[in-house]
Amino acid sequence: MALDRFGRRIHYLRISLTDHCNLRCLYCMPEDMTFRPNADLMQDDEILLLTRLFANLGFDKIRLTGGEPTARAHVVELVRGITHTPGVRSVSMTTNGVLLSRLAKPFAEAGLQRVNISIDTLNPAKFRRLTRWGDMEDVWDGILAAEEAGLTPVKLNAVVVKSYNEEDVLDLARLTLEHPWQVRFIEMMPFAGATELQTKQMVSAAQIQARVEAAFGALEAANSGKLDGEARIFHIPGAQGDIGFISSVSAPFCATCTRARLTADGMLRMCLLREHEIDLLKPLRAGATRDDLRTMILDAVWNKPWGHGLVEGVIATNRVMSQIGG
């Protein structure tokens, strides 16, 4: 079991399969983003070896992310390898959904259990503005394909950005009346090269909730008031689905964090919003033994920071979100 010095059991690993992406969301990366060459990224056998090591240390929950994980070559085979790793109990994926109408069924057959699909608005023009070149219909088809393939409960992630999609939270919330989906509203976080957009156009979870309640009435707490991962969960009375609020900036959930992140270039990052990283890939390529790597992971876990420093104005500036793995 991997414990940190505050007694938190760290057992949830987010693996970024690539930093590459087929969209360019405004709040995530610049339009002229450059990506790492493939040789710098973990190869399939390296991902599987590290997954086995983490699983041996008690990491039983894995989320695959990116960049856009579905943009990685041979991703279905890789998913199969990860889901079949002894000790791994649950494997999910965060995706923009663009390629999901084709991949949902093969993913489910490969053992993937769930997906979170990012969709910030149901308005196609606004969707294009936020993603710079995305087609909302592709994502909608992806959502339906995920449900059809049994990658459920389907969770939809929406980052809310002032003067872009604040009013659109109502259409997204309305989806839960008819669909057993969980729509999760996320506060925008600042990263490297923090743009005016990230710092000045953040909408707080409390503001989003107030807007939803003004339209639908008071929300009822779901999940017995417990956090679902990082989200506080509610529902509109009588609705089939849930609404979640992720308040990483205004009300962080650091005290209950059980996560570690492995970037696509093989760096172990113990806090999304802290810069410190431990390179696992270079030692692995230089011939480190399993015991060496195991010790490095346990040390990193032990020294996991208590929490992030956004409230004190500390912004992690060494990577943007897509280079860490959201």
* Residue (27 or 234) nearer to ligand SF4, CB: 27
157 near ligand SAM (CB under 6 A): yes
Please identify, among the stretches 47-55, 186-194, 221-229, 257-265, the one whose residues bind ligand SAM according to the rule CB under 6 A.
Answer: 186-194
CB of residue 68 to ligand SAM, shortest distance in Å: 4
- The letter for the amino acid at 49 is L
- In sequence order, which residues have a C-beta less than 8 Å from that of residue 171 and are 6 or more positions away? 121, 122, 123
Exactly one of 65, 176, 247, 323 binds ligand SAM (CB under 6 A); which one? 65
Closest C-alpha among 262, 282, 202 to residue 52: 262
Beta strand extents in 47-109 (DSSP E only): 61-65, 90-95
- Quick one: what does residue 12 bind among ligand SAM, ligand SF4, none, with the CB cut-off 5 to 8 Å set by partner type? none
Q: For the chain, what is the radius of gyration of the CA atoms?
A: 19
CB of residue 307 to ligand SAM, shortest distance in Å: 16
* Residue (272 or 284) nearer to ligand SAM, CB: 272
Distances (CA, A) of 119 to 62, 97, 185, 213, 257: 22, 8, 10, 21, 25
- Quick one: what does residue 65 bind among ligand SF4, ligand SAM, none, with the CB cut-off 5 to 8 Å set by partner type? ligand SAM
Gap between the Cα atoms of 158 and 205, Å rounded: 12
Two tokens at 113? 């259990």
CB of residue 24 to ligand SF4, shortest distance in Å: 5
Residues found near ligand SF4 in the complex (CB under 6 A): 21, 23-25, 28-29, 66-68, 96, 118, 321-322
Crossing angle of helices 124-131 and 136-148, in 10° steps, is 100
Exactly one of 26, 110, 159, 262 binds ligand SAM (CB under 6 A); which one? 159
CB of residue 94 to ligand SF4, shortest distance in Å: 8
- Quick one: what does residue 323 bind among ligand SF4, ligand SAM, none, with the CB cut-off 5 to 8 Å set by partner type? none
326 near ligand SAM (CB under 6 A): yes
* Residue (29 or 239) nearer to ligand SF4, CB: 29
Two tokens at 266? 């093989």
- Quick one: what does residue 83 bind among ligand SF4, ligand SAM, none, with the CB cut-off 5 to 8 Å set by partner type? none
HEC letters along 101-119: HHHHHHHHHCCCCEEEEEC
CB of residue 39 to ligand SF4, shortest distance in Å: 21
- Termini Cα distance of the chain: 24
Give the 3-state secondary structure of residue 126.
helix
CB of residue 12 to ligand SAM, shortest distance in Å: 15
Closest C-alpha among 89, 62, 75, 59 to residue 17: 75
**Chain residues 260-319 in contact with ligand SAM, contact rule CB under 6 A:** none
- In sequence order, which residues have a C-beta less than 8 Å from that of residue 244 and are 6 or more positions away? 155, 182, 183, 184, 185, 228, 231, 232, 233, 234
Binding site for ligand SAM (CB under 6 A): 21, 27-28, 65-66, 68, 94-96, 118, 157, 159, 186, 188-189, 191, 198, 321-322, 326
